[in-house]
Structures are given as C-alpha cells and as structure tokens.
Amino acid sequence: MAGKQMKLLLLVSVVISSLAVNVLTAPLPRAIKELSVRPPFLGLISAHSYKQATPFSDDGRRFHIGTIGSNSVIIVGCGTGLVNAAATTQLLLDFFPIRAVIHFGTAGGADSSLSVGDVVIPMQFSQTGIWDWLKSEAAPQPDNGVADLEFRRYHIPIGGYNLLGRVAYMKEYFFSQTGEPDVPVRKFWFEASEDLLQIASTLEGIELDQCLNGVCLPKQPKLVLGVNGTTANFFVENAAYRDFLHSTFHVASIDMESAAVIMTSLSSGQQVIAIRGLANSAGAEEGEDSSESYDAIVAANVEKTVVALVNNIPSPRLGRICGKNRKCSA
Ligand SMILES: *[C@@H]1O[C@H](CO)[C@@H](O)[C@H](O)[C@H]1NC(C)=O
C-alpha cells in the first residue's frame, strides 16, 4: 500500500501499543469500559479495511486506537456498501465515546471540471439507490419521487419503447434521536456538519502529491469543497449513467458508503464529514478504468487530507468542536 498510508498506520500502531497496553488482552467489554472514561475520540471510518493487529475487534472489524496530533482517534475499516458502512458506524458510536465521525475513501468523479486525483469534501450526500421501478414512462411520479430515469432515452437510435420503463428516485427514510419515534422523515440530501465543513475549509490549498512510487496523476491534484456527493450499492463504470447523475443531482463524486455513514451519524446526533478522492471518472474515461493504477496515490492524498483535518480540530480539552468564528451551543 501507499507509503503515506503506511506512515499513518505506523503512527497509529505505535500509539496503540503505548496507549492501550493494559487493555491489549482485555475482552472487548472491559476494553470498552476502560475507554469510556477517556476524553472522547474522533471516529475515523475508512471505506477500506485496515488489516492490522489491534486490541479490539467485533463482528470481524478491528478498531485501531491511537492519536493523531493532540487528538485521540479510533480508526476502523467498514468494507464496501451501505450495509457495511451503516453497521460499522453504528458499532463505533455504540461502543466508544465519539466526538465526531470522519469518513474517507476513494470515489468515481462525476464532474468533468474536476480531475482524477482531486480530493473532494462534499457538503451533502444523497442516496441514489432507492427506487420506485415503474411500469412505464407514463406512470405518475410517486409522492416521494425526486427525479426519473427513463430507459428509452438511452436508445440508439433514438425512439422506441422500453419494457424496463422508468425508475423514480426516492427520498430516504430518516429516523433520528430528535425525531418522533417510528416516524421517518423523508429526506434526499444529508448534510455534513457545518462546524466540520468550516474547519475543512481552512485546508483549501493544501499541497497534494501528484506522484507516488513512479505513478503520476495526469494533473496536479487539488482539494475541492462545497460540492455534492452521492452513494448507492453499485459501482458505477458507465459514462451515460455518470452523466445522468451529474446533470440530474449535480453531484461531483459517486461512491458506495458515504451517505450511509453520514445518515447513521446524523441519526445519532453525531457530527460527521466525508472526504473522498476521485480515483476514476466512473466510466467516462477513454479506454481502461484508471482506478487501480491511481488507487495508491489517491488514497495517500485522502489520508494526508484526513490527517490535516484532524490536526485542525481542537483537542477535547478545548471543548466542543466549533468552526472558526462560529458560536458553539453547549
Ligand atoms: C448541490 O445540490 C443542490 C441540490 O440539488 C444544488 O442546488 C446545488 O447547486 C448543488 N451544488 C453544486 C456545487 O453543484
């Protein structure tokens, strides 16, 4: 894996051994109890797995305990897809004292004005995998539909009828601690937390690497804030669908976990943000998909951004996480 990634892992593992020696052999419930009296952690959820020995594991996942700068962190890999992402987020929030969730990974780029290798911190994510699959193009738009995909629009030559009909994109069913029990709120966009976005905005202009181990991105990568992202349970490698997502929902990144991490965190009243590096163009690239060749350099830049963000978050001694110049309520 990437050198930078190794360095982060190394950093974390070094701290793991000095910090958690006394709980290394403790069963999970005792370890959790010991950690519960510590100041709260930043919960870092990677879309990839961290295959490293660590004191705590549950349901096949390892929770790596350590520090980055003056902040205590717990890093866990969630694996692919919305179910894994939501389950991991909920485990993290239920077992450990968490101040905020920082999710990261790679994504497909949906906006042609961005380049492969750019790192995005979207302000909001949608889940574009909840559909009402309708009989025909003429079927009425369902109550909670937000947009349609008509299959016949993609015929070449143009025209004709398509038995697959039409797909209507539906809003999510959002349950939260502050909402009425058992009554979901129908929502399409899930916003990253304003305080974290504001801290992230101080990273603008961060120097990202163009080359790693002899592999160079076609362009000097940059950090891009203020875009939208979307998530669904399928890997998009199709230019027509990528363009549909971009023109319909104005999204810049396509992935398989972010919306689930954000939604699960918000559901528990947690602050959350997601950082994604564009490893490919979701099928719009000419020739072969570039994702594998750029994976390492993109992951390294994402981790550089994560570490910079963590370093800009005040340590728990200073109280609640607040963006600069923002008043924090208790
Ligand atoms: C993000 O999505 C919202 C809602 O669809 C839209 O109004 C906004 O213009 C989008 N932002 C960008 C940067 O495209």
pLDDT digits (tens, 9 = 90+) for 240-264: 999 999 999 999 999 999 999 999 9
Please give the distance, rounded to the nearest whole angstrom, from the Cα atom of residue 59 to the centre of ligand 1. 37
Do 161 and 120 touch, CB atoms closer than 8 A? no
> What pLDDT, on a 0 to 100 scale, did the predictor assign at position 25?
45
State whether residue 255 is helix, strand or coil.
strand
Task: Check if the beta carbon of residue 262 is closer than 8 Å to that of residue 272.
Answer: yes
Torsion of CA 87, 90, 92, 94, to 10 degrees: -140
Mutate which of 228, 247, 253 to test ligand 1's pocket (most atoms within 8 Å of Cβ)? 228
- Reported in sequence order, the residue ranges of 71-219 that DSSP labels E, i.e. its strands, are 71-77, 98-109, 119-121, 124-127, 131-134, 145-150, 166-170, 172-174, 185-187, 189-191, 211-212, 215-216
Distance CA 327, CA 62 (A): 36
pLDDT (0 to 100) of residue 24: 41
**pLDDT at residue 93 tops 80:** yes
Ligand 1 mean position, distance from CA 174 (Å): 21
CA 253 / ligand 1 centre spacing (Å): 12
pLDDT in tens, 270-322: 999 999 999 999 999 876 655 568 999 999 999 999 999 999 999 887 667 77
pLDDT for the residue numbered 7: 43
Mutate which of 248, 249, 250 to test ligand 1's pocket (most atoms within 8 Å of Cβ)?
250
| Ligand 1 site, residue 228, Cβ cutoff 6 A | yes
Please give the helix or strand (H or E) that residue 276 lies within, else none.
strand 271-280
* Domains, the chain, ordered by start: 3-130+171-318 (3.40.50.1580)
What's the pLDDT score for residue 326? Answer: 57
For residue 228, the CA-to-ligand 1 centroid distance in Å is 6
- Residue 17 pLDDT > 70: no
Predicted local distance difference test score (pLDDT) of residue 160: 84
Check: CB of residue 312 under 8 Å from CB of residue 203: yes
**Predicted TM-score of the model (pTM):** 0.88
Mean predicted lDDT score pLDDT of the chain: 86
Output the residue whose Cα is nearest ligand 1's atom 3: 250
Predicted pLDDT at 289? 55
Nearest CA to ligand 1 atom 5: 249
